[in-house]
Each structure stands twice: as structure tokens, then as C-alpha cells.
Amino acid sequence: MTTHADTANVTRGVCEAVPCPGSDIRMPKPPVTHSSQHRQLSPARELQTSRGTLPSPSENSFAPSGLDEARRLGLVEDLGETSATGRLPWVIAAGVAVILLPALLVLICPLRWFPGVGDCAVSVNDRAVELDTAEAETAASVAARSVRLKRRLPTVVTAIARAVDISETDARVVATALTGRASHAFTCVHGGGDDEMSEKLGPAGLTARADRARRDLERAFGPQKLGGFAPGGVTSGHMPGSAHYEGRAVDAFFRPVNERNRTKGWAVAQYLVAHADRLAVETVIYDGRIWTARRAGAGWRSYRPDTSRRSAEAAAILEHLDHVHVDVAD
């Protein structure tokens, strides 16, 4: 038979595990020890406790001295989001720099400063070939001789493949451009001049550099119809600010304007770009296109001067449809 005392004992045992509603029996709370209090502290306060510097509950745990100490001990991440927020602008700036730096270097630096990038490039019918400056000069000289001797394209291809040591497939691309069969297809990222040369006009009315370019052109292609200079210099007949007035420019004429002469003109124009480094070429203009050493990375750009209220003949001259213009560094 269960007595009242037995029922009380059972009830006490149950209520010690789970508090019973309406019961006056309560599970006694364990005494608070230093170890349990220590486990409830944040890492920073735990560290201060171990060093005997635990502030009283009324003190601010994140006072400047506590924050500095936590930072010194590498606990700054435990103190809130202030650190991450402070680093955010630097993270964004670093990301932007990583994205923009390569593009900036390409704009500022010549492409030949980058490993694996050729000085010159040829693109014909979606096939591209890269050459260094020496290879470009050799190929252009072979092509110029072939134009002068009126060689057929297969002969030029074989000659360039052997001279530059490239495949005949690549040589065909190069030969097609350098013989003028493909317009504005050959470009380089060199040119201009750093060495000092006399700016005094020579007997032909050209500076030393310009006269060198003139002689080189005729040596490569044979006698040419040249103009834009005269003994003592020229003072009229060209656009304001033209290099012709300084004796730094030569024009090679290909008249009348037709497909045959256009091909010859492009052979000369692209030859000058290939040799722009050696001849200190600054600008080549032909057939509505312009190449400049200063913006060589952009290749051949459109050249469209104002020809309004001009005759067809005058417009052809201004657009350089009938002649190749080349000017050299001063």
C-alpha cells in the first residue's frame, strides 16, 4: 500500500528533474563557482581574467584600452564589425586596381615590353601572324624586291618563308599584306626616334632622317614619283602644321587612282611601317588610313579630313588616295 510519504518522495524525485506546476518543491540551484563564471565570459574577458585584470560588471569591456589589447593579441574579429567595415574600402580599391592595371599598362607601355607579344602583326582573312621587328624588316624587304621585280605571289611566299623561317601558310599571310594585296593588314608597335639627328635641311630640302627615308624607299622599290619637298624647303601647299614645312615629310605618288596603283601604294605604306623603328617613322597616311608611332597599338585608323566644298581631285589629295605620306621624328 502506497503511503503519503511514498507519494511525496516520488513527486520530489520527478520535480527535481522537471519543475512541477503548483509544486512547492524546487530543484536547488548549484552553487556558482569561479570556474562556471569563467566559462560564461567572452574570450577577451576570459583573457583579462586569466591575467587578473577582469573589470567589474559595470565597466565597459570595449573601452579603448581593452580594444587595443585585443587587437594586439589578434582578437579584433571578436569585437564586432568595425574591423571588417574599415577594411572594405581597401578591398574594393585593390580589386579595382587588379582589373584596371593590365589595361593601363597596355595603354602606357609599348606592347613589345610584354613577353610573348610580337612587335608586328599581320591579319588577312581571319588568320593572324606575329613577327618581331627583325623578322618584319626582312619580310618587308623581300616583298619590296618582289614588287620591284614583279614576282608572282607564290614566289614571294616561298622567299619570305625561307628568309624569316616561318611556315608557307604564315608566309602567305605576310606576303599578301606586304605586297599590297591586303590593305591596312600589317601593323607594328615600334617607330619614332630617340637618337639625336640634325634638323638642318639638306640639299633636297629634307632633314637627315627624312632624306634617309627617301633614299631607303627608292632603294627598296626602285625609282618613285616623290614630292612634298624642295630645295630650301616648302612653305605652302599643305595643311597647317604639316611636317612638310619642317622638311620631315615625303610623299610617294600613285596616280591615277586605280586598283593597280592602290596595291602598289599599300606595299609602300606597309613597308614603311615594318621599317618604322629603323627609319624613325612617326606617321604614315594612305588611302583614308593613318598609322602613327604614338598610337601604334591602335594600328591603322580611319583618316577622314574635311573635304567639303572641295573638288574630287582635291579631296583625293587630302584623303591621301593618290599618295603615301610619311614623316619622321624631329
pLDDT digits (tens, 9 = 90+) for 287-307: 999 999 999 999 999 999 988
Residue 227 burial class via C-beta count within 10 angstroms: exposed 0-12, middle 13-18, buried 19 and up = middle
Q: Of the candidates 285, 323, 322, which has an alpha carbon nearest to the alpha carbon of residue 304?
A: 285
Residue for grid cell 579603448: 64
318 touches 325 (CB < 8 A): no
Residue for grid cell 615625303: 250
Sign, CA dihedral 52-58-63-67, equals positive
Q: What's the pLDDT band for 312 if we cut at 50, 70, 90? A: confident
Phi-psi map region of 48: left, alpha, beta (phi>0 left; psi -120 to 50 alpha)? alpha
Cα separation values, 256 from 3, 225, 260, Å: 132, 12, 9
| pTM of the entire predicted model | 0.66
Q: What's the pLDDT band for 195 if we cut at 50, 70, 90? A: low
278 touches 192 (CB < 8 A): no
Whether 101 shows a pLDDT value over 90: the answer reads no
Helices (H), the chain: 4-17, 34-39, 43-50, 64-72, 82-108, 133-149, 153-164, 168-178, 208-221, 259-274, 276-279, 312-318
Per-residue confidence (pLDDT) for residue 79, from 0 to 100: 41
141 vs 102, residue with greater confidence = 141
Q: Of the candidates 315, 322, 162, 308, which has an alpha carbon nearest to the alpha carbon of residue 227?
A: 322
Query: Residues 51-78: pLDDT tens digits?
Result: 444 444 444 444 455 556 656 665 545 4
What is the spatial distance between Cα 303 and Cα 289, in angstroms, rounded to a whole number? 5
Residue for grid cell 552553487: 31
C-alpha grid cell, residue 257 = 587612282
265 touches 162 (CB < 8 A): no
**Strand 186-188 to strand 120-124: parallel, antiparallel, or no bridges (unpaired)?**
antiparallel
What is the spatial distance between Cα 185 and Cα 128, in angstroms, rounded to a whole number? 10
pLDDT-wise least confident of 79-93, 123-137, 148-162, 291-305: 79-93
Considering the chain, what is the average pLDDT of its residues? Answer: 80
Residue 90 burial class via C-beta count within 10 angstroms: exposed 0-12, middle 13-18, buried 19 and up = exposed
Instruction: Give the percent of the chain with pLDDT over 90.
Output: 55
**Strand 289-292 to strand 281-286: parallel, antiparallel, or no bridges (unpaired)?**
antiparallel
pLDDT-wise least confident of 15-19, 62-66, 307-311: 15-19
Which amino acid belongs to residue 292? T
230 vs 191, residue with greater confidence = 230
CB under 8 Å to 55, separation ≥6 — which residues?
Answer: 45, 48, 61, 66
Q: What's the pLDDT band for 154 if we cut at 50, 70, 90? A: very high
Whether 18 shows a pLDDT value over 50: the answer reads no
Q: Of the candidates 207, 193, 213, which has an alpha carbon nearest to the alpha carbon of residue 247?
A: 207
Whether 11 shows a pLDDT value over 90: the answer reads no
What is the spatial distance between Cα 278 and Cα 298, in angstroms, rounded to a whole number? 20
